[in-house]
Structure 1
């Protein structure tokens, strides 16, 4: 397991990659479309990077931290209620997609199936989707629903990268153990990017690195 951790940690980003991420996210980022059904999706155009994760994983906070805005992405007051895919234009070079959370406990079974069916249909059928950022909470263990999603990514050959959220809210020893556990899990999935990032929307931990990873998919600036 230590070897797996060392491998992930060794995938360092260059200063040039970090600067590209900074520049991309320093530009404008605006909501431009919301879709509640697969048939309502905007036409595929710019490359897309989607954010997925369990309800309450901190997805909205992370998107806001990446873009330097306080309320670009908004969390639902009732997890399991909002079913919309939200699309954000990032500097005309990339589209960020805020996906509905999964694994919520209180929603009715029919709502869960409908919601997750829409999410999976989007992931499988979107030709300009370049990567899914799969968020896992650093404070809790990996759930069966998280593993189910990773298995689905493997079967559909969907490139995904795991990002740990809320790392500031875990004591160092427990956070390190959680990180090692996640790296070991990721190593078992062929569709997964090997670099697991630790982040905190509160302290900014890992935000420059995640920006750099996402910026790799952006279209060049048009002169």
Structure 2
């Protein structure tokens, strides 16, 4: 049998993650998750403390839906069919071990140009200079693939040496063959970006695909669980 191609090999590596890591992820995301703050200005960012994971992506890509799916809650993060509804950095404390940050979407938004410029400027500043930010998750709609605006964000993250990982959303909308081809294509493009994590995770907040794997990967970034 031929060896799998680069993108397929990285995905296979991710899917063979140790069952103990899957269980660690399940336990972390079963913990209480509480809203901490909605931030509209750099001056009111929460103090640096817990490791942070940011959810970034184009407007309406499914950031809030993914956070809800990961935490097993339906309304933790507000979801909407209206692009650009999230207009601030929303911080959620997960079990006192990890901070989840729901970011404003980039691209189309139903808001004034001034408002969009303000909150997207805040998002850029946050991604460039937050010392507690362990990883940015760059969400990409599986039905649309990487767009030029995604590539621009990836370049900015490369320049600021901010580690990020591409997560496909709405993977249930594609047939397995099309999804595999998309993952391989994006993995090849991501390999040209020095700050990009090599594993491409395909998820669906509807079917639950990829949710246990992503929980496990994020649990590895969290503060250690307290000893009992």
TM-score in terms of structure 2 length:
0.92
1:201 counterpart residue number: 205
> How many Å apart are 1:15 and its aligned residue?
1.2
Deviations 1:140-177 (A, max 9, x none): 13111100110011000000111101010112232222
> How many Å apart are 1:202 and its aligned residue?
0.7
1:120 counterpart residue number: 124
Whether 2:146 is the aligned partner of 1:142: answer yes
2:35 counterpart residue number: 31
Residues in 1 aligned to 2:201 and 2:10: alpha-carbon distance in whole angstroms: 13
- From 12, 30, 48, the equivalent of 1:9 is 12
CA contact (8 A) 2:33 2:95 kept: yes
Q: 1:44-63 alignment to 2 at 5 Å?
A: 44-63=48-67
> How many Å apart are 1:2 and its aligned residue?
3.0
Whether 2:76 is the aligned partner of 1:72: answer yes
Unaligned runs of 5+ in 2: none
1:129 counterpart residue number: 133
1:218 counterpart residue number: 222
> How many Å apart are 1:97 and its aligned residue?
0.5
Deviations 1:104-144 (A, max 9, x none): 16544433332221101011111111001111010013111
CA contact (8 A) 1:51 1:133 kept: yes
Structure 2 vs 1, CA of residues 72 and 105 (structure 1 numbering), >3 Å: closer, same or farther? closer
Q: The residue matched to 1:57 in structure 2 has which SS?
A: coil
Q: The residue matched to 1:69 in structure 2 has which SS?
A: coil
1:163 counterpart residue number: 167
Residues in 2 aligned to 1:106 and 1:45: alpha-carbon distance in whole angstroms: 33
> How many Å apart are 1:44 and its aligned residue?
0.7
Residues in 2 aligned to 1:78 and 1:177: alpha-carbon distance in whole angstroms: 29
How many residues are matched? 223
Residues in 2 aligned to 1:107 and 1:173: alpha-carbon distance in whole angstroms: 38
CA contact (8 A) 2:52 2:101 kept: yes
TM-score in terms of structure 1 length:
0.94
1:104 counterpart residue number: 108
